[in-house]
Amino acid sequence: MNKKQKKMLIRIIIALILFIGLKLVHLPEMANVILSLATYFLIGYDILTKAVKGILKKQVFDENFLMAVATVGAIALGDYSEGTAVMLFYQIGEWFQSYAVGKSRKNISELMDIRPDYANIQNENGELVQVDPDEVEIGTIIIVKPGEKIPIDGIVVEGNSTLNTSALTGESLPRDASVNDEVISGCINLTGLLKIKTTREFGESTVSKILDMVENASSKKSRSENFISRFAHYYTPAVVYSALALAILPPIVSFLMGMDPNWAEWVYRALTFLVISCPCALVICIPLSFFAGIGGASNAGVLVKGSNYLEALASTKYVVFDKTGTMTQGVFEVSGIHHASIAEDKILELAAMAESYSTHPISKSLLQAYGKPVDKERIKNVEEISGYGVIAQIDDKEVLVGNDKLMKKYGIEYKPCHDVGTIVHIAIDQEYVGHILISDKIKPHAKEAIARLKEVGVKETIMLTGDVKTVANKVASDLNIDKVYSELLPQDKVNKVEELLEKKQEKEKLAFVGDGINDAPVLSRADVGIAMGALGSDAAIEAADIVLMDDDPLKIAKAIKIAKKCLRIVYENIYFAIGVKIICLILSAFGIGNMWLAIFADVGVMVIAVLNAIRTLNVKKL
Amino acid sequence: MKKTYKIDVDCANCANKMEEAANKTEGVKNAVVNFMTLKMIVEFEDGADAKEVMGRVLDNCKIVEDDCEIFF
């Protein structure tokens, strides 16, 4: 509780005691009136002054003004206790709202409490000193003791340990870290002492980026939020004008028809309208639900860049995947060398050399299988043709390393492979010398992940890949993926996604899931771009709308579930709050409802909606 | 130019009103108020002086909601 809230709570308690006391004790008329008014001013003086200030600034639809008119009106009609009660409960409602919002702000920031407070460095005398992570320069050696958070991204230079990444990924299985491993800020060092050479400044480190993303997340507003803002914009004036009409028209009509105008009754009904006119419950519970949803999601390792994306994710009907790195591990291994017309070692050496400048996962696996350092002096004029392969001059011979398409392009006859996997053909000076078979492993949870997606209401799963048809079809049938498009160049993927976007209906959303490498354009083109395994990849964090911190495909279904729960609560709140208000307005107009009902419609609805909104935070069991 | 400012306001509807007031201020291209994180993100028009514009934004916000603060 802050100072303001404490002060208000004391006022509320005193006013409540006075209010109940006056109900129980029978005082003489005069004393009762004076004490009632005293209670009223005690609880409402700030609202009254704000109302006056509002009038001076011509802000008539200000809730302070409305509340002041309603309560002063009630008191003028002689209903001292109702006037005071309305003010009292209004203040209780405001206090509760402010307390609940403050509390959930705190809860959510605690969930995301991954900000490291200090970094340990060694000073000239060899002693450990704690410094502000902001002051650590790139290349500094920092020391992380067991139990401490890694403050800055870097590479381990000494020590072995296991890391707990759960604050970042929601994944409880620890990771191993040893010399030359890249480690990411925000992880907790569990077992051994690590010396880490920093590779980034604190502000550029993963932990800062994530915090920045989560803190600015709900700035992109969802349709529901915009709807409520617009609704609130018209709701209050509409209710106030109908209150005015209710106070004037029926009495005049009755009077003209020769009946008793009954002014007091109609004015009273109009005043109850004013109490219901405050849109607070609606306006607070929608952003609060989204905020809690985003907070809960980030605790589960799903970072959402805005409430609009949470909304789109909830109505996702099509999920498009990239194969490599998403459904498969993206760790390729050379599993065979076939049709070799020269020594197999030589083929591997040439392939590794030609691909040594490429960052493609296939190239990495070739280099790994080769296992020796590459003499870059022997390689000249490397040209990488995206989607085809590489052409390079090695030892003054032209070497082509690539897929079927590259061979066709240069008119080289090649031998197809009967095994399933990625085939890398090699030709020297236009002559075919054999091919290398590389295969990738399907992720352990991939099949279950696809099944879960169907459970959460996804209509169709589609896989896009640059890989050959045989591999793509095999992976798709193993995983029960509905459709597969293979042998696509990076730009084809964008076209394919655009095609799919055109075919679907407006309300059904399409999500693209990729690993963030090479697929940034597709990520941004889809309704929802989901990057997975993005820990440490800046490009993915930039391009995606939703970031899955680890690379477990089960998280996709989990993210959709979180979004659905959040949206369900949002709609519950919208229907509940608007519904109750409208029913209370109708009841009051016909004189069935009274001020007490109006207070419930205002404060009660808000309390219930806020409590419901906070439920979104709990996503553990989804 | 885009800048983020910390704000202080008590109710969600008042935050919406602040957003509306800020958007109507001269020199502001677009403003978003996030009530949950108590932040105002202002995109200024080209060549506008942020400090001067924010003074006007605060004045306009004070009209719609007396009990608010922007820290700039």
Q: What is the pLDDT of residues A445-499, one digit of tens each?
A: 888 999 999 999 999 999 988 777 888 888 888 889 999 998 888 788 889 999 9
Which is more confident, A121 or A491?
A121
Could you say which residues from 211 to 250 on chain A have a Cβ atom under 8 Å away from some Cβ of chain B?
215-216, 218-219, 221, 229, 232
With an 8 Å Cβ cutoff, is A50 touching chain B? Answer: yes
The pLDDT confidence band at residue A517, using thresholds 50, 70 and 90, is low
pLDDT of residue A216 exceeding 80, the answer is no
pLDDT at A353 over 90: no
Q: Are the beta carbons of A232 and B39 separated by less than 8 Å?
A: no
- Three-state secondary-structure class, residue A515: coil
pLDDT band at A40 (very low <50, low <70, confident <90, very high): very high
- Compare all CA atoms of chain A with the CA of B40 and give the residue at the minimum distance: A219
Collect all residues of chain A within an 8 Å Cβ-Cβ radius of residue B34.
216, 218-219, 287
Mark yes or no for CB contact A218/B36 under 8 Å: yes
Interface TM-score (ipTM) > 0.95: no
pLDDT at A461: 93
Q: Report the distance separating Cα A195 and Cα A145, nearest Å.
A: 9
The nearest CA of chain A is from the CA of B10 a distance in Å of 7
- Candidates B24, B30, B33, B37, partner chain A, best to mutate (most A CBs within 10 A): B37
Lowest-confidence pick of A70-74, A350-354, A355-359:
A355-359
Q: Cα angle vertex A396, ends A392, A401, to 5°?
A: 30
Higher pLDDT, A401 or A539: A401
Q: Report the CATH architecture of B2-71.
A: 2-Layer Sandwich (3.30)
The beta-carbon contacts of A400-408 under 8 Å, at least 24 apart in sequence, are: A400/A425, A400/A426, A400/A427, A400/A428, A401/A350, A401/A351, A401/A354, A401/A355, A401/A425, A401/A426, A403/A468, A404/A468, A405/A487, A407/A432
Q: Are the CB atoms for B27 and B44 separated by under 8 Å?
A: yes
Give the list of residues 6+ apart from residue A583 with CB closer than 8 angstroms, or none.
Answer: none
DSSP state of A621: T
State the Cα–Cα distance between residues A622 and A302, nearest whole angstrom: 13
Among B37, B64, B66, the residue with its CB nearest the CB of A218 is: B37
Q: Is the pLDDT of residue A536 over 60?
A: no
Q: Which residues of A touch B67 (CB under 8 A)?
A: 50
C-alpha–C-alpha distance, residues A229 and A274, integer Å: 19
- The arithmetic mean of pLDDT across residues A533-557, rounded, is 77
pLDDT band at A16 (very low <50, low <70, confident <90, very high): very high
Residues of chain B neighbouring A221 (CB-CB closer than 8 A) = 32
Give me the pLDDT at residue A113, please: 66
Beta-carbon separation of A279 and B13 below 8 A: yes
Amino acid identity of A553?
P
A111: confidence class by pLDDT, cuts 50, 70, 90? low
Mean per-residue pLDDT, A86-91: 89
Q: Find the mean pLDDT for residues A194-205.
A: 88
Inter-chain touch B34–A219, beta carbons under 8 Å:
yes
pTM score > 0.90 for this model?
no
B66–A50 CB contact, under 8 Å: yes
Give mean pLDDT, residues B30-59: 88
Q: How confident is the model at residue A560 (pLDDT cuts 50, 70, 90)?
A: very high
- How far apart, in whole angstroms, are the C-alpha atoms of residue A85 and residue A595? 9
Residues 6+ apart with CB under 8 A from A493: A322, A464, A466, A519, A521, A522
| Higher-scoring residue by pLDDT: B2, A151 | A151
By the 8 A CB rule, do A285 and A576 touch? no
Per-residue pLDDT band for A215 (boundaries 50, 70, 90) equals low
* pLDDT of residue B12 exceeding 60: yes
Of A164-178, A311-325, A441-455, A602-616, the least confident:
A164-178
* Interchain CB distance below 8 Å, A216 and B36: no
Q: How confident is the model at residue A509 (pLDDT cuts 50, 70, 90)?
A: very high
Whether residue A280 lies within 8 A of chain B, CB to CB, comes out as yes
Least confident of A158-162, A392-396, A612-616, B9-13: B9-13
Residue owning tokens 């460095």? A121
Residues on chain B bordering chain A, Cβ-to-Cβ distance under 8 angstroms: 4, 10-13, 16, 32, 34-39, 41, 63-64, 66-67
The average pLDDT across A597-602 equals: 84
Name the token pair of A323: 């194969």
Give contacts of B36 with chain A, Cβ < 8 Å.
101, 105, 218, 287-288, 291
Domain range summary for chain B, segments of one domain joined by +: 2-71
Instruction: Confirm or reject contact between A103 and chain B (CB < 8 A).
Output: no
B-chain residue closest to A220, CA distance: B32
Is residue A101 less than 8 Å (CB to CB) from chain B? yes
- Say how many C-beta atoms besides its own lie within 10 A of residue A392's C-beta: 22
Q: Is the pLDDT of residue A565 over 90?
A: yes
What phi, psi does A431 have (nearest 5°)?
A: -115, 130
Across A140-159, average pLDDT? 89
Q: Which of A478, A486, A482 minimizes the C-alpha distance to A448? A: A478
Interchain proximity B10–A94, CB inside 8 Å:
yes
Across the interface, of B13, B16, B34, the residue whose CB is closest to A218 is B34
Q: Which among A113, A156, A148, A155 is positioned nearest to A128, based on CA atoms?
A: A148
**pLDDT category of residue A218 using cuts at 50, 70 and 90:** low
pLDDT at B23 over 60: yes
Q: List, in order, residues 6 or more apart from A354 with CB less than 8 Å away.
A: A379, A382, A390, A391, A392, A394, A399, A401
> In this predicted structure, what is the pLDDT of residue A219?
64
Q: Which of A399, A321, A408, A324 is nearest to A362 (CA)?
A: A324
- What does the mean pLDDT of chain A come to? 85
pLDDT at residue A547 above 90? no
Domains of chain A: 119-148+152-202 (2.70.150.10), 306-325+442-561 (3.40.50.1000), 329-441 (3.40.1110.10)
Residues of A catalogued as catalytic: 322
pLDDT at A14 > cutoff 90: yes
A63 at B interface, C-beta within 8 A? yes
Q: Do B37 and A283 touch (CB under 8 A)?
A: no
Nearest to B16 among A53, A215, A283 (CB): A283
- At A379-417, the pLDDT tens digits run 888 888 877 888 888 888 889 998 888 888 888 888 887
pLDDT band at A10 (very low <50, low <70, confident <90, very high): very high
**Residue B11 is nearest to which of A54, A57, A280, comparing CB atoms?**
A280
| Choice between B23 and A218, residue whose per-residue pLDDT is larger | B23
CB contact under 8 A, B13 and A283: yes
Interface test with B, best of A111, A234, A283 (most B CBs within 10 A): A283
Mutant choice from B10, B13, B38, B60 vs A, greatest count of A C-beta within 10 A: B13
pLDDT value at A243 more than 60? yes
Position A28 confidence tier, pLDDT thresholds 50, 70, 90: confident
**How large is the average pLDDT for residues A433-443?**
84
Give the gap in angstroms from C-alpha A112 to the nearest C-alpha of chain B.
Answer: 13
B12: nearest CB among A218, A221, A287:
A287
In the prediction, which pLDDT does A78 show? Answer: 83
Query: Which of B18, B30, B36 to substitute to test the interface with A, most A CBs within 10 Å?
Result: B36
